Structures are given as structure tokens and as C-alpha cells.
Structure 1
Amino acid sequence: MRLLTTTIIAGLAASAAQADSLRMSWWGGDARHAQTQQALAICGEKHGHQIAAEFTGWSGHQERITTQIAGRTEADIMQINWPWLPLFSRDGTGFADLRDYDHIIDLSQFTDEQLAGGEINGVLNGLPVAETGRVYFFNKTVFDAAGVPLPTNWNEVRAAAGRLGEGVMPFEAQGLNAIFLVSTTVTQRTGKDLIDPETTTVAWTPEELAEGIRFYLSLVEEGVIRSWQQVAGEGNIELFEMRPWAEGRIAGTYEWDSAYAKYADPLGDQELVPVPMLQVADAVNDGTYRKPSMLFAISRNSRSPEAAAQIIDCLLNDPEAIDILRDSRGIPASGIAVERLAAEGGIDPNVQAAHDMVLAGNGPTPSPLNEHPKVREVFADYLEAVAYGQIGPDEAAGEIVHEINRAIRSFR
């Protein structure tokens, strides 16, 4: 995709000698591009800097950043996807340490947990722009029409199967959602994330993982969710693009809180609502999967890191910038930003409710390596093999643990 570049001239009252020349790169759509450029103009003027904006769509952005970082030609300020942190900063030295600029950036607007999401090896490589997490959503209209209460645990989801109307499935767990369903179940039972932060190895035993796989299979067998084979046979279409979803014949899913509109819009007058985390009977925590959706980072090669820090602080914490950017990158992580938007009624009530559930949930801080492409590939391949009867849960679990450990050993 062609790189779009524009230069924002700011700080008209400042001389060229006083101004720092900065570059900022990000991905997004047209609305995000326009809002970010407008906010950069405001922030640049306030601090007397000139900022060149470099923006693209999502496709190809990681590859471009990878090339730039390798050649030390990256922008001063970068929007970084959370799973990229260990790829670009394996030992924590890939980006500037933002704590070195805590006299400029108001880190008090972020919780310790939020800041931990941007750390590698104890170094604050990125500041979370927004935070997102997985939430259970159900079609309240379908449940109400059948006289079935919205579920509060998995036994109630199982009980809803066959009671919502002919051919109506109470839940969906296809592809990535199947992986998350298995992972959440194991996390709830063990209290551990997939990746042990101390050893950078798989924290779960094969026996623990096998139980999670059996849980997923039990939902298929009891008619709670569609089988892997059925989903594949229908073309692996995204749930929000499927007619059964739009027509209320699939009545629940497990998705990012920030993706609410994508799933609610196709339902028309039907009401999609979040519910608190569903737990297995022997859970020791919620298993909430919460992460930064993206981060702002400063290049370790920047010649003007303090100026870059001023712009980051302005984008995240300045009232004028907050009013411009709003939720263009999701519900903001900054405390002052989310309070300002909420007070102005700028957040959909269901999105806010879902986000509140994410923040209130408990569970281990997930490693970015959960979303490493090879980790996801290994999980998907063996879950598919189990679904097709080519391998049993115990053998699959052992292979998953072994293969993921091989995939991430270079990050130790």
C-alpha cells in the first residue's frame, strides 16, 4: 500500500531554530488519519515543533516498520502493535525507555498494570493508547424471546442449547475464538498465562491444556457451538458477516470489547449486550485477557526524544487532543481521557459496560508472545487435527506445548 505522507507545520510563533523536527508513523483508516493529523497540529503548535505525519493502512505496516528499524530510519514517534514488542525489542532496548521522560509524560494517568503491558524486561517501551480485552456478548433479544435468562456461567450456556428456538446456537467459537476459549479455560483453572514470564516457556502442563481442549470438545458435542468441520465447510466466514448471526440463529460470542459495533451493527433492532466473564466450575480467577490494543513508542534513534515525549503526552492527556481523537483508537487508556469522553457521552453504553467488565476482571498479565504468529498457527493446527479425529486431546496438548516452546525459545 502506498505510504501517505503529510507535513504538519506547527509552532508558527517559534523560529525554525527553536522548533524540533519530528516524524510520527501510524496505521489506520481515513477517519483516524484525519483526527490524528488535526491533533498533531494542535500539539505541535503548543510545544513549538514541526511534525511530519507518515500513515498507511494496516496492510504492510509491520513490514515497513521492520525495514525502517533495521535501517535506523524509523519515525521519532511510532504507533506499535502490542505483539510487536518482543519482535522489535527482544531485551527491552529496542525503543526509548519512557520512564526517562516521566517529567514530561504524565504516567500517573495510567495504572501499573497498563504500564506493565508496555514493558519488556522492565523497560517501558510503549505507552498504551487504548486497552482492550475479551468479553462475552449475547443477543438479549433472542434470549428474551425464548424466556431464557442471559447466562452467568457455562452450565447456563449449556442449558440454553435447544431452548432458544429451532436451530439456534447459544454460542460461537470458531477459529481464533476457539483458541481463546481453550486458553481462557486453562487460565481460569490454573491461574497462569500461557507463557511463564520468568522462563519464557509454556507455563501449562500438557495435562492442564488437554483439559481445556476437552472443554471445547464438550461444547461441540452438546450442541452449544458449531464444530470446526462445520465452520470450515461454510467457508470460515467471519461471524459478523454471517446471515445466521444477523438473523439471531447464533446468539453469543467471545470478542474484543472494542469490536462491539462490528458485531452489533448487523443485528439491526436486536440487542447485543455484554455479560460478566463466564467461568468454569473450578476457576481460580476470571481468566480475563486484557492487553494494550496499541502503544505509542519513541525511537531509540530519535535525535529529539524529549520533544517526542511532549507530543505523546499531548496526544494522550491534553483535553484538546482528547476531544479530537476521541475513540479513534478505542476507549483511551489515559484516565483523564476516558473520564472526559465518558462525561461528554461520547462512548456507547454497551461498549463502556464491556470495557468496565474488562477492567474489573482478574487474571494474569498476558505475554505478547500469546499472539506470535507461530504460536497461533500451532494452536490452530492441532485444534483442527483434534476436531477431525486425527489426534486425541492428550497427544495434541503435548505437541502444542512442545512446538510453542520451540517457536519462542529465541526470546529467552
Structure 2
Amino acid sequence: MKNKDHTKGLLIILIILLVFCTLLYISQENQKAEKSDTIATREGQNRIILSWWGNDERHKYTMEGVDHFMEENPEIHVNCRYGEWNGFEKRMEVWTNSHNEADVMQINYAWLDTYSKDGTGYYDLNQLSEYINLDAFSDKCKEYGTRNGHLNALPIAMNSQVFYYNQDILDQYGLSCPENWDDLFEMAEVVSKDGKYLLGMSKKQVFMLLIAYYEQSTGKAMFNDDGKLAASKDEIAELLVFYKKMIDEHVLCPVDIFDNAMYQNGQVVGIMCWISDTKKYRDALEEKGVKVSLCLYPMMEGAKRSGWYIKPATMWAISADTKSPKDAAVLLEYLLNDPYMVSLAGTEKGVPVSSKAVEVLSENGLSETNEYIATEEINKRADEINIIIPNIEKEAIIDAFKQNADEYLYDRMDADECAELIYDSIIEVQ
């Protein structure tokens, strides 16, 4: 009996110690978080947080710009939250839902509908016009960021899909830029003899490529203006057959094996990407001495819809919960219009839409940049390009298509079964 009591007593002590250690760990982590948020904050400074996603280049110039901002505005201390795109959207969801988002944040255009359909999810920038030069933006640009009369965000640049091809490889095979979908298959037949794929791209770009084909071939939008799926199960089945044909005939490299290295080393001849990714896909190849061509998107003759879309590349917004709206506005103005920051960013996110930013960059060869050239080509076709429907970029919808389409691509389902699965999955998450 004594031994049982002794054992029971030890167990209770161990449980108490475990609970104590857990509470101590949580307390220490909270202190670390608080310390990291306030580090280097001097007495009298106001602390705000800036968040963004991107590549190493973007991180480097943004942090350099933030350092300069704090030198110019010693009363404001800026802490930075940043990372690559993968996983960032999920973290943003957690921060936003817990009201712990940054004071100033880079957001995706689609997030306006996700977090601020009624216009109250982000701060109304109209209320901060004393600190932000809104006149530097056209009414159309401001319209993109407006919900229910509230100016929630300002676009940094405009974005659309472009195609870049390794011109040296095209020359090697006696090929030129494709103009329609048939051209893609004919070109793929030639380059596939040496094991090459004609095109490679991310899962989002594949989804948008297929939407373009669907809309050109049917004359209908795949998603309604309210973001609801408009395609039928039979139409999705036909689209799946076309998708598989593109992969089987080497028009399109399978998403799961494609990476930028395949494009850089010539295993993949061309790429479809956002204009804002030009440095990653065109400039990087040209720096190796490779000739790269900007080619038009494929079109069907007589198509009623082009199926191609344009959107703000990314946007800057201020949290509706910020405790320092003035300081946040001063930082946002700096990010968009300050000559020093504008020069650092250049065209990395695309050609800026701020007239002040364009003025600065025009003095430093803006018209010679590949982003400017691509943007001008898209502008020539503005009449046939639609503003993007946010759900087209919704991660859950893209995953619902990609993951289920794999069942057909790898012969685990027929097209009709797979189309029904895709249809039901998209309806569930849209």
C-alpha cells in the first residue's frame, strides 16, 4: 500500500513539474516574441510592423529601404516580417484571423475579397490622404483597391501572363514564336525528339493556361463575376483530355517535375509567368548570354473571349486594427513614392503605377527594362484582357483542380469520374 502511495505521489510530482515546465516554456517564448518585436526600439519611438513575401532580392532591398526610412524618420521603428510565397498565405490567414497582422502589409489582390468584401477588413486609405499622395494613382488604379467605397489598398504594379522562350533553342530547330494552340503542339513535336518539353510553369499558371483554353474554345467565362464555377462537368472532362494531351505530347512539362532549373538549362524551352517574375525567368537567362524572346499568348481564331487576365501585381495595405495609422501611412507613402525606395525596388514587382515612381525610374532607363517591354505588349491588347476574378487565384480551388486532375493524368480515373470529383471539390471550397 505504501509503495502504491509512493508511486502515486511521484506521478503527481512529475505531472506538476511537466505543467510547470510547459508554462515556463510558453512564458519564455512569449518574452522572446515581445523582445523580437521591440528590439532596438528607443524611448519615444513608435513601433510598427511591415510584412511582405518574395525572393531574396526583394528581402534585401526592402530591408535596406526600411533602414533608410528609419534614418529619415527616427521617431518610427519598423519591424519586418517576411518570407517566400510558399506558406506565406497561410500565415497571413492566421495573423489576420487573430488580429495580429502587420500594420503595413503587402497583399494579394484576391485577399480583398477574402478579408474585406465590405471594405472594413483594411484601413480606409482615403482617411490618410494627408500622409499618402493618392493623386499619384489614377482613378482606375484606386478602383482596384476599393471595396464598398473604402480605399483598402494601392497597387504597386499591374500584372499579366507573358511567355518567354529560349530563342537560341528555337533557332536551333528553325522555330519561331507560336501564335495559336496548334503551333504549340507542332513545336513540341519537334523539340520532344530530343527529350525537351516546350513549356513549363507552376500549378497556378497551368490552371490559368487551361482557363484560357476553356474560355477561347467555349466563348464562356470559367468563373462567374461572383467567383462561382460556371463550367459544367462535361466541359471539365473535355478540358482534362486536352490537359493530358499537352503533357503526353510534351507541350507541357508535368507540374510535379518542373522547376526553374529545367528552363535555365534548356530542358524546357519556354515559360509562362507573371510580368513581375521577368527577372527570375528572362533576365537570369539573358545574364548567361542566352537570347530570350517575349512571345504572345496563344489565341484561337475568332474566339469570343481571350481567357487571359490582368490584375494588380501586389498591393500595399494598412491594417484596420493598427494603433499607429499615421506612422503606417508615412511608411506606405515611402514604399510607393519615395525616390530612394523606388530606385531600390526598380521594376522587381513590375512597372510601378504610381506616377511619382514612374517619374523617378524614367530617368534611369525604365523603358529599356524587360518588365516595361512586356507591360507595353500587354497594354496593346488591353481590350481583349479581362480583370482577374479573385477566385481564379484561390489556393484551395487551384489545389482542388490539380490534386484531383492527377487521378486522371496518372490513369487512376477516367475523365468523367475525375471531372465530377473536380467539380464537386471546387464547389465545396469556392
Whether 2:51 is the aligned partner of 1:25: answer yes
Name the counterpart of 2:397.
375
SS in 2 for 1:54: strand
Change (3 A) 1:162 1:72: closer
Where in structure 2 are the equivalents of 1:4-403 lying within 5 Å? 22-28=48-54, 31-40=57-66, 43=69, 49-58=75-84, 61-62=88-89, 64-102=91-129, 104-120=131-147, 123-164=150-191, 166-167=193-194, 168-172=196-200, 175-189=203-217, 193-198=221-226, 200-220=227-247, 222-226=249-253, 228=254, 236-242=256-262, 245-264=263-282, 265=284, 268-345=288-365, 349-361=369-381, 362-403=384-425
RMSD over aligned Cα atoms: 3.6
Kindly indicate whether the alpha-carbon contact (under 8 Å) linking 2:158 and 2:311 is maintained by their aligned counterparts in 1.
yes
Letter in 1 for 2:395: P
Q: Compare 180-189 and 28-37 and name the one that shifted more.
A: 28-37
Matched residues in 2 for 1:328 and 1:202: separation? 33
Q: Structure 1 regions of 5+ residues with no counterpart?
A: none
Kindly indicate whether the alpha-carbon contact (under 8 Å) linking 1:191 and 1:364 is maintained by their aligned counterparts in 2.
no
Kindly indicate whether the alpha-carbon contact (under 8 Å) linking 2:178 and 2:296 is maintained by their aligned counterparts in 1.
no
Change (3 A) 1:169 1:123: same
Change (3 A) 1:327 1:391: same
Kindly indicate whether the alpha-carbon contact (under 8 Å) linking 1:93 and 1:123 is maintained by their aligned counterparts in 2.
yes
The TM-score normalised by the length of structure 2 is 0.76
Q: Compare 34-43 and 149-158 and name the one that shifted more.
A: 34-43
Q: Compare 44-53 and 147-156 and name the one that shifted more.
A: 44-53
Change (3 A) 1:103 1:357: farther
Matched residues in 1 for 2:225 and 2:111: separation? 17
Deviations 1:153-207 (A, max 9, x none): 2222223233348324433467444322211212334566543233x42133444
Kindly indicate whether the alpha-carbon contact (under 8 Å) linking 1:193 and 1:365 is maintained by their aligned counterparts in 2.
no
Q: Shift in Å at residue 316 of structure 1?
A: 0.6
Letter in 2 for 1:186: Y
Q: Structure 2 regions of 5+ residues with no counterpart?
A: 1-31
Letter in 1 for 2:325: P
Which of the two has greater helix per residue? Answer: 2
Tell me the matched-pair count: 391
Q: Shift in Å at residue 261 of structure 1?
A: 3.3
Q: Shift in Å at residue 272 of structure 1?
A: 2.1
Matched residues in 2 for 1:49 and 1:285: separation? 53
Change (3 A) 1:37 1:165: closer
Matched residues in 2 for 1:379 and 1:5: separation? 39
The TM-score normalised by the length of structure 1 is 0.79
Kindly indicate whether the alpha-carbon contact (under 8 Å) linking 1:274 and 1:350 is maintained by their aligned counterparts in 2.
no
Change (3 A) 1:286 1:104: farther
Change (3 A) 1:392 1:363: farther
SS in 1 for 2:401: helix
* % identical aligned pairs: 27
Q: Compare 61-70 and 397-406 and name the one that shifted more.
A: 61-70
SS in 2 for 1:297: strand
Deviations 1:217-245 (A, max 9, x none): 3434555335x4xx6xxxx3333222xx3
